[in-house]
Amino acid sequence: MPHLRKLAVALCLATSAVQAQVAPSPTVPDTLAQRLLACASCHARFDAQGNPVNDSYFPRIGGKPAGYLYNQLRNFREGRRQYPLMTYLVDHLPDPYLREIAAHFAAQPPSAHAAQASGVAPQVLERGRQLAMQGDSARKIPACVACHGQKLTGVEPAIPGLLGLPRDYLNAQFGAWRNGARRAHAPDCMAEITARLSLEEVNAVSSYLASQPAPNDPRPASSIARPLPLACGSAPEGQP
């Protein structure tokens, strides 16, 4: 009967549609790199043409010292740094896994943001250069290079680089230290330094650092002269 044939055809089509809907999903590899794709969505994610995405504020973390990355993951987890999304991501992760994450990103090639046009007066930029390269001994403000390396690319195993970071991010971190939203292991040397800087000087330092191109070799230095100008809980004496 024609109506039965039509019904049979409809049933076949419906069955095919259901089968298509329940087709098994492709297997996702259970690797550390796959699990950490969530991090890449903010920290140096690139589109199909190789252009950076979410690059105006978030720092790139590839190639940073593993000890520094591990310390920051712990700081987010334990409330010393305030950023809800990061706290949510690491809230229940144990120390060994945080070390794995830090080592994964530390092993990647460094990738710096392009230098930004400062947009500030030359005298402001010069003040930033003076503070970054020479400090202000009369006010007990050490030079940035005294801790972050002569090339300002950081020092293994726990001091981050300062070049190749967006100006907005740098300003935000100074502000976070100033208002207590960012802290580090005591003694918190950066909180001490930030408290000695005026807001104008913070802007000068951030503008100068963001305007400097990264060197040809942006890897962190292997060591730095000790002792550091200030006691620093994140990079205690005894480290290289």
Listed ranges 43-57, 105-119, 131-145; the one with the highest mean pLDDT:
131-145
pLDDT tens-digit series, residues 4-14: 454 444 445 44
Q: Which position has the higher pLDDT, 128 or 239?
A: 128
> What's the mean pLDDT when you consider all of the chain?
88
Angle at 126 between CA 121 and CA 129, to 5 degrees: 135
pLDDT tens-digit series, residues 161-179: 999 998 999 999 999 999 9
Q: What token pair was written down for 165? A: 């970071």
- Walk me through the domains of the chain, giving residue ranges and CATH numbers: 39-45+52-211 (1.10.760.10)
Range 198-223 average pLDDT: 95
Specify the amino acid at residue 139.
R
Q: Which position has the higher pLDDT, 94 or 8?
A: 94
Q: What token pair was written down for 173? A: 């971190």
Give CB contacts under 8 A, 24+ apart, made by 223-231.
Answer: 223/155, 223/156, 224/147, 224/149, 224/155, 224/159, 228/142, 228/146, 228/147, 228/189, 229/135, 229/142, 229/146, 229/147, 230/142, 230/147, 230/187, 230/189, 230/192, 230/193, 231/187, 231/189
* Centroid of chain to Cα 219: 15
DSSP label at residue 155? E
Range 95-106 average pLDDT: 97
